[in-house]
Amino acid sequence: MKRLIPYVHRDVSWLSFNYRVLQEAKDESVPLLERIKFLAIYSSNLDEFFRVRVAGLKNLLRVGKKTKRELDFEPQNVLEELLEIVNQQQTEFSRIFEKLIIPELKENGINLLRRTDLNKQQENFIDNYFQEKLLPFVQPVLLVEKKVKPFLSNGALYLALHLIESDDKNKSPRYAIVKIPSDHTPRFITLPPSKKDKHDVIMLDDIVRHSVKMIFPGFEVKDTYSIKLTRDAELYIDNEYSGDLIDKIRKSLIKRSVGPASRLVYDREMPDHLLKYLMDVFELDKFDLLEEGRYHNNSDFFQFPHFGKKHLKDSDLPPLAIPYLENTESIFPEIAIKDHLVFVPFHSYESVIRFFEDASKDPDVTHIKIIQYRVAKQSRIMNALSQAVKAGKQVMAFIEVKARFDEEANLEWGAKLEEVGAKVHYSLPGLKVHSKMALVRRLEKGTPKIYGYLSTGNFHEGTAKVYSDIGILTSDMRLLSEASRVFNYLETKKRPTKKFENLIVGQFGLKEKLLQLIEDEVKAAKDGKKALIFLKMNSLQDRQMIDALYRASQKGVEVKLIIRGICSLVPGVKDISENIEAVSIVDRYLEHARVFIFGRGQRRKIFLSSADWMVRNLHHRVETVFPIFDTEISKKIVDIMNLQYSDNLKARHIHLEKNNSYRKEQADFDIRSQVETYFYLKRDLEEEMNKRSTEE
């Protein structure tokens, strides 16, 4: 009998990752206001999960048996498992918020009050606030089953009201919907303080609860319960090979806000009669329902007021400036000398911005090329590209307009660049372009020279402050000549005829080359050498890649994994994955870098990548994996990877039996890898500055 190969469904594994985010909210070593932020991150993640992944599973159920036969899982079984897990997590979320966060806020002089906690002055304050700020936006609707069915906006907050007409002797229940207008006013309202040196806060929801009786004269408000509907966010763009893709996306974006329901979130205290009534009115079934606590849209906790209490936030780790890149007359001579590592948010992103701003002003620069997947709303990089065009330079931007939830922003930036005369190319049919590259062509003594920036992360000044990504500024033509061929493909749509020798490129043998690198370590182990595969990525889901890692483990290869999110591989299974250890790190910065290390000593090969090991990355995207040739940079990457793997404060096990347990190993001292990485890079920078000072 063939042994079943262990594999975790990607959506189940993703919920396991999101639970690690929730763990940060209850970790007492995390400053209080940061714990509140993790509640917001958990909730924001979950909203997107339901709008995309759960909505997709529901669509599979609607399609029927034909499509199900093509799947290797049963959508209904997965959906039921997901809802069970989320319900358990939501119960814990409520416990963390009510039993841990609120009492600790009170200990620190911040009182999050409900309407029953208010004194007379505060009651008068919220009555006035309701009438002056909220009344025009609450949109009250008295429900009549099957006749009055109001449209619930995606992600908007509502109160479902249980009413009784004052003159109804039979006390027949009536129901209504009222909007909580958090899209017009802040979610957290500061009240007149009840005591000196205290801060009293109330949530907008409770102001509406208190004052809603004003807008239903002739009714007694028996109770109120909060609800929220999220809608399917997929664009479902059919037949991308024909017609105007940009026009299709613009039209689909309009439809996104009115897509089918993917989830009705409701207060778990809601009585059955009201829940059933809402299900009938909005035509929902059991798979559309999710219990939560008293409050929804908890991503609004990002807005929670801080009242200047810095001791309740993380200590500052100011980004490390790289003076010889940021404060030089021109960045290009520095890059011509050697490659430079930029590891944000530990390093400042200023050197990357300077790369584009210097190129836009340098009279010797003739061409700039860039791939943009996600773009900041206020972007110095995009402004620099506009200025470059105005200065007479040729600028080509490939903008991926299918980057989910960034489609509209990307279209706007594309239009702005086109307006000033840049050459803008948009999405390829059937593919997403996910590479993170930019090239600059500069004439030096009449000879063209190429400079480039290759990275694991987007050209996004906002995420560079919170996402942990690695890039290199380089003039190494082993990399840049092949990067130029990737750009030629994106511009002409013609496949390169010459093979890629150094870059590993999606759509041009990416998966096959990664499998070969794994197989090389298997062969080394068979030859009696100490073989190693050391991988860091966001997600590991592709079954063929997982099977290859299982085979490597069985042949004696040591496999070390640092996986932030989805990990469908199961470490620690006897005779299958005993030589595989996997950890996940969730801390103040989002781990986003992808690093692949194969082999030890002289055999060691190090790569940085835009690609995770998911089906979508390996099969349906243009990605770039690039080798690190510089020995100094290679050493830094290995050192930092070892630091991360030694983390015994923020690392958690991904394991068959002890999944998500903290990896608190026996050690002489604590290792929090993100903090240690910061100070490692700080020391490295100081050594470099001292060296330069001595040479001068």
Partners of residue 176 on adjacent β-strands: 142, 161
| Cβ pair 454, 472 in contact under 8 A | yes
As a whole number of angstroms, the distance between CA 444 and CA 333 comes to: 10
Mode of pairing for the β-strands spanning 621-622 and 432-433: parallel
Q: Which amino acid is at 101?
A: I
Task: At 454, give phi and psi (nearest 5°).
Answer: -120, 135
In whole angstroms, give the CA distance from residue 651 to residue 20. Answer: 10
Contacts of 2 (CB under 8 A, 6+ apart): none
Residue 387 and residue 381 in contact, taking contact as beta carbons nearer than 8 Å: no
- Give the active site residues: 434
Pairing type for strands 605-609 and 595-598 reads antiparallel
Q: Which two tokens stand for residue 484?
A: 């130029």
Instruction: Give residue 492's Cα distance to chain centre.
Output: 31
Distance CA 647, CA 650 (A): 6
Q: Which two tokens stand for residue 340?
A: 């430079």
SS (H, E, C) 223-253: EEEEEEEEECCCCCCCCCCCCCHHHHHHHHH
Q: Other C-beta atoms within 10 Å of 77: how many?
A: 10
Which structure tokens are listed for 682?
């700080």
Query: Residue 318: how many CB atoms within 10 A of its CB?
Result: 8
DSSP single-letter state for residue 455: E
Peptide bond into 345 cis (omega under 30): yes
CB neighbour class for 284 (10 Å; exposed up to 12, middle 13-18, buried from 19): middle
Q: Cβ contacts of residue 684 below 8 Å, gap of 6+?
A: 636
* Residue of 611, 615, 614 lying closest to 594 (CA atoms): 611
